[in-house]
Amino acid sequence: MKTTKLVLVTLLGLAIIGPAFGARDTLRCGSKIITTGMMIDEVLKHCGEPKSQDTEEIPVRSGNRVTGITKIHTWVYQRSGGNPASLTFDQDKLVSIKYQ
């Protein structure tokens, strides 16, 4: 009986706190949820212009040889009532969402 209660309490706890762990790589813009993997134009469509943006060109290497350049875009959105969200795009694909 105690084991069953322990299992139920554990499952209930995971059901409550579990979504919070998965929500790290998401951003809500109005009714739309922004997730990693989305394209830059899609984020712009749903979230509008960011508060700030920066672009950096990074060399792509294969061993010691530079084989090309990739553009890393960093956009910052100020969320109402929350910490700013920093979105990083590699070329045009969203690769990370972090909260400052």
How many domains is the chain built from? 1
Residue 5 falls inside a structural domain: no
Residue 72 falls inside a structural domain: yes
CATH code for the domain in which residue 81 is found: 3.30.1450
Residue 2 falls inside a structural domain: no
Q: What is the pLDDT of residue 19?
A: 42
Spatial separation of the C-alpha atoms in residues 30 and 26, rounded to whole Å: 13
Give yes or no for a contact between 44 and 51, defined as CB atoms under 8 angstroms apart: no
Q: What is the pLDDT of residue 24?
A: 61
Residues (pLDDT < 70) of the chain are 1-24
Residue 58 falls inside a structural domain: yes
pLDDT tens-digit map of 63-82: 999 999 999 999 999 988 88
Mean pLDDT rounded to a whole number for the chain: 82
HEC per residue, 35-88: ECCCEHHHHHHHHCCCCEEEEEEEEEEECCEEEEEEEEEEEEECCCCCCCEEEE
Domain span at residue 46?
Answer: 25-99
Q: What is the pLDDT of residue 79?
A: 84
State the Cα angle at 72 between 84 and 78, rounded to 5°: 15
Residue 33 falls inside a structural domain: yes
Residue 14 falls inside a structural domain: no
Alpha helix (H) ranges present in 1-100? 2-22, 40-47
